[in-house]
Amino acid sequence: MNCVEIINNLRKWAPEELQEPWDASGWQIKLADRDVTNVVVAMDVVPEVVDLAAEVGAELILTHHPFLFGGLSNVAEETTKGAMVVDLIRRGISVYSAHTNMDKAKGGVNDQWIDKLGLKNVRVLSEEDELGIIGENHMVLADLKAVFQAEGIDNVRGYGVKKEAVETIAFVGGSGADYIDEAALQGADVLITGDVKHHDGQHAAEIGLMVLDIGHFHSEKAILMAMARWVEEISGARAHVVMNSPFVFEI
């Protein structure tokens, strides 16, 4: 199966028209229709990911975050991004990104957390843009902590009102602080997301919501394994997954 055939099938799973208006999902670098034997799946296109693609002889890189988000006014090889663009084209490696459309897709980013959290009666958190989920499960903080630790998430920061037990749980992958009001309006006891700021936490406290920041990368990383399994099933190519963020570290 070639690059275009794989992506056409991916579009059936996560149609590009589902993405938010500000998003840049889709082809980032589209080269000749090469037969695909190896695919690298990662959160972002960074030098380490490009190096891995070259090492394993990949013809395609699939990412969650768009590589060319915001666009490029020029490609200068002396810049990090420009050097990656040049290197990828020279090596014949295409890049495709599925971002907010994959957040919303059945089995996408948000759905990955339904089973992890044991949610029942699940519905969309924000009907307006179809982002996020909210469902029900009685859990104490120790239960939530165990779920996070099973996912390799050890550093969770809590904001707002600390609650020892919750019944209604909202989740938004990536940066979900904008949904604090919606989560509270929908009756959530807790919102699990990433990229929460100090003043977001203050606002959550004022409206009686607990917010747990598990980190942007950690909130979305489960989709990488799901995409990798999908690639291997649909195409027979080998998927190489980058399950860490090279530019996020702890000290």
**Mean per-residue pLDDT, 168-175:** 97
Cα–Cα distance for residue pair 100/214, rounded to 1 Å: 19
Q: HEC string of 65-84?
A: CCCCCCCCCCCCCCCHHHHH
Strand partners, 29: 95
3-102 and 106-216 agree in CATH topology: yes
CB 156 within 8 A of CB 122: no
The string over 42-69, giving b where at least 16 C-beta atoms fall within 10 Å of a residue's C-beta and e elsewhere, is: bbbbbeebbebbeeeebbbbbbbbbbbe
Residue type, 35: D
Give 70's pLDDT tier (boundaries 50, 70, 90): confident
pLDDT cut 90: percent of the chain above it: 91
Question: Range with the lowest mean pLDDT among 23-32, 51-60, 69-78, 86-95?
Answer: 69-78
**Residue 143 scores a pLDDT above 90:** yes
Q: List, for residues 1-43, the tens digit of each pLDDT value.
A: 999 999 999 999 999 999 999 999 999 999 988 899 999 999 9
pLDDT at position 68 over 90: yes
Extract the tokens encoding 127: 């009907």
CA dist 96 and 61 (Å) reads 6
> According to the model, what pLDDT value does residue 87 have?
97
Which position has the token pair 């190489």? 240
- Average per-residue pLDDT in the chain? 96
Would you say 70 and 37 are in contact if contact means Cβ atoms under 8 Å apart?
no
CA distance 187 to 201: 17
The conformation of residue 35, written as its DSSP 8-state character, comes to: B
CATH assignment of 106-216, among 3.40.1390.30, 1.20.1250.20, 2.50.20.10, 3.40.50.970: 3.40.1390.30
Average pLDDT for 67-82:
87
**Looking at residues 168-192, what average pLDDT do you find?**
97
Instruction: Give the pLDDT band (50/70/90) at residue 180.
Output: very high
Mean pLDDT of 125-148: 96
Q: What is the pLDDT of residue 195?
A: 97
pLDDT of residue 64: 98
What's the CA gap between 41 and 63, in Å, rounded? 6
Bridging pattern class, strands 210-213 and 190-194: parallel
Three-point CA angle 49, 55, 60, nearest 5°: 60
Boundaries of every domain in the chain:
3-102, 106-216
Tell me which CATH homologous superfamily contains domain 3-102. Answer: NIF3 (NGG1p interacting factor 3)-like (3.40.1390.30)
* Per-residue pLDDT, 32: 81
For the chain, what percent of residues have pLDDT higher than 70?
A: 100
Q: How confident is the model at residue 248 (pLDDT cuts 50, 70, 90)?
A: confident
* Tokens coding 64: 């969650």
> pLDDT confidence of 73, banded at 50, 70, 90?
confident
* pLDDT exceeds cutoff 80 at 71: no
Looking at the predicted structure, is the pLDDT value of residue 85 above 80?
Answer: yes
